[in-house]
Amino acid sequence: MASTTGPVPPTARGIFRYRYQHGTNLGSIFVLERWLTGSMYEDGTPGSSELEAVKQSLKASGLEATRAKWEKHWLMALTEDDLRWLKDVARCNSIRLPIGFFTLGPSFCLGTAFEGEPSLVYVHAWSIAKRVIENCRRHGIGVLIDFHAVPGGANPEGHSGTDSGKAELWGNPHNLAMARDCLAFIVQEVTYHAMTGVIGVQLCNESIWDAPGMYQWYDEILAITSAVDPSLPIYISDGWNLSAALDYAMSKNRTTGTGPVNPVIVDTHKYYTFTESDRSQSPHEIIGRIPGELWELNGRQGNVFDNKSTMAVYVGEYSCVMDTQTWNRVDPSERPGLTKTFGHEQTKTWQSKTAGCAFWTFKMDWMDGGDWGFKEQVNTGAIPAPSWLTVSQEEVRSKVREAEMQRARLRDSAASDHVRYWDQTAPGVQLEHWRYTYGWDLGFSDAMNFFCARAHGVLPGGGDGGDKIGALDLWVKKRIIETDQFSQGLGWEWEHGFRRGVNDFYVFSGV
């Protein structure tokens, strides 16, 4: 029998990265959008992009005043009061932070429309972004660095940094190489400066459908990130084709290969207001669609050993917005209740199927933000936190103590169920049931250690709430590798035990 010496308990870094991510976007801070923060645009500014806002401000006020205005905007993005509200009221444990190539400073603007005087506005931008990330970490809030505005644009929208109206990243060797170098810099910064609060890096935002060469570019970036830090989760845009992106992620998250590759998580966005098919439906019809969303995951989850691969999905943007045409199909008095139901159905579905989600968005000039505003939707009860994030610190400790006392009983019951099933299903077949018990023990421990990490001081920030494993299949893969189960023909027994141990802790603790 192989050694059952377990791997080390989950670290703070691992918990930050693999727990269920409940959060919001910090949009229009490091990448401006005029409809959210019009105050950053001078009167007469053409277009709606970051570049046009900077150029008009430089023309009107000069470099020093423009830089001061932008730096104040960045520095005020998350005040201590904001961070306390996110942690203690909204119960966020993560944010998605959109940045642009210009955020990295003047040297990354060479050969782009930001080259020259506009680039000098960003001399201190990256250091301020790192300060935001560190302030979040101190409060126990992880940060997904979203490379939102890439050179040339992954899509033609103004939130790509310019008003070119074109997606000129794809098929452009110069822009692709520049974006690659930006991402290499970001990953090195995260790794070599020990930015433990970073939960991952997203390679681009909302790529156009069927972008030429997108997956080859992803390959190129992953070759670099794997050489720097193969443990850092890499998030990819699904390009509005979730099924194809999942196929790609599973090709990268295989359990066998020539070397370590970063865990790949697919970022998908869910909006119900922009298409004619959305506008043609009533609020009740749209809400009725939500439980069936993410059907592309069917058959891809829950069996790492046999599938020899896995994946995870993150809903990087969603909202409580429905079109005026949709709302006109019901009496106005129904709107508050239906908005609340809409938010509840989304969060319930994302919690049951994904590794996390981030509402669009937290900050805008018109706080609290209406149906686009995370703060308003939290305050009205439309976006509730997962139940496990609301448990008091004393209750966390109590549940852990009780679980430890019942651990042996729960393990024996699970093992008996497993043995009984296989004795009846495959009598006389030689199995290795000790693997099941070994997996159960580690699964139970991991679930418990995620849950009590704040209360026991493993995570910074302290406070109420427990955490739950979110990217479970990726975590299972990680643990199977660490315990060398893939080299064993009966490693599936270990995985079954691990999953049962995780589930037994959650059922017992009411998580």
**Measuring CA to CA, which residue among 406, 295, 396 is closest to residue 354?**
295
Tell me which of 488 and 496 has the higher pLDDT.
496
Q: E strand or H helix at 134, and its extent?
A: helix 125-138
In a domain, 479, yes or no: yes
The CATH number that applies at residue 312 is: 3.20.20.80
The tokens for 98 are 């959109």
In a domain, 16, yes or no: no
Strands, E assignment, 279-404? 312-322, 356-359
The tokens for 312 are 């995870």
Q: Is residue 3 predicted with pLDDT exceeding 80?
A: no
The tokens for 392 are 């008091």
Do residues 125 and 149 share a domain? yes
Domain that holds residue 66: 21-385
Q: Is residue 63 predicted with pLDDT exceeding 80?
A: yes
From CA 144, how far away is CA 200, in angstroms rounded?
5
The tokens for 2 are 């192989």
Do residues 435 and 360 share a domain? no
For residues 121-125, give the mean pLDDT: 98
Q: What are the tens digits of pLDDT across the range 332-341?
A: 999 999 999 9
Q: What's the pLDDT score for residue 339?
A: 98
For residues 312-321, give the mean pLDDT: 98
From CA 162, how far away is CA 316, in angstroms rounded?
22
Q: What's the pLDDT score for residue 274?
A: 95
Q: Is residue 5 predicted with pLDDT exceeding 60?
A: no
Amino acid identity, position 343: G
Q: What's the pLDDT score for residue 257?
A: 72
Tell me what the pLDDT averaged over the chain comes to. 96
Q: What is the per-residue burial (b if ≥16 Cβ within 10 Å, else e) of 428-467?
A: eeeeeebbbbbbbbbbbbbbbbbbbbbbeebbbbeebbbb
CA 369, 370, 374, 380 torsion-angle sign: positive
From CA 323, how far away is CA 349, in angstroms rounded?
21
From CA 200, how far away is CA 212, in angstroms rounded?
25
Taking CA atoms, 125 is separated from 31, 70, 208, 461, 467, in Å, by 11, 9, 27, 25, 32
3-state DSSP assignment of residue 208: coil
Do residues 306 and 181 share a domain? yes
What residues contact 392, with CB distance under 8 A and at least 6 apart? Answer: 464
To 5 degrees, how large is the angle CA 356–CA 361–CA 364?
165
pLDDT band at 1; cut points 50, 70, 90 = very low
In a domain, 52, yes or no: yes
Q: What's the pLDDT score for residue 6?
A: 65
Do residues 249 and 312 share a domain? yes
For residues 212-239, give the mean pLDDT: 98
Do residues 423 and 354 share a domain? no
- Phi-psi sector, 172: left (phi>0), alpha (psi -120 to 50), beta: beta
From CA 474, how far away is CA 447, in angstroms rounded?
14
Please check whether residue 232 is in contact with residue 225, taking contact to mean a CB–CB distance below 8 angstroms: yes
Q: Is residue 129 predicted with pLDDT exceeding 80?
A: yes
pLDDT band at 486; cut points 50, 70, 90 = confident
Number of domains the chain contains = 2
To 5 degrees, how large is the angle CA 466–CA 471–CA 477?
120
Do residues 377 and 234 share a domain? yes
From CA 21, how far away is CA 511, in angstroms rounded?
15
For residues 6-29, give the mean pLDDT: 95
Please check whether residue 273 is in contact with residue 242, taking contact to mean a CB–CB distance below 8 angstroms: no
Q: What are the tens digits of pLDDT across the range 161-171?
A: 999 999 999 99
Q: What is the per-residue burial (b if ≥16 Cβ within 10 Å, else e) of 192-222?
A: eeebbbbbbbbbbbbbbeebeebbebbebbb
Tell me which of 5 and 410 has the higher pLDDT.
410
* Domain end among 385, 401, 425: 385
Do residues 200 and 152 share a domain? yes
Count the alpha carbons within 13 Å of 409 in the hemisphere toward its beta carbon. 6
Q: What's the pLDDT score for residue 485?
A: 84
Q: What are the tens digits of pLDDT across the range 77-100?
A: 999 999 999 999 999 999 999 999
In a domain, 12, yes or no: no
For residues 295-321, give the mean pLDDT: 95
In a domain, 252, yes or no: yes
From CA 325, how far away is CA 245, in angstroms rounded?
32
Please give the model's pTM, rounded to 2 decimal places.
Answer: 0.97
pLDDT band at 259; cut points 50, 70, 90 = confident
Do residues 313 and 444 share a domain? no
Q: What is the per-residue burial (b if ≥16 Cβ within 10 Å, else e) of 331-362?
A: eeeeeeebbbbbbbbbbebbbebbbbbbbbbb
Which residue(s) pair with 269 in the sheet? 317
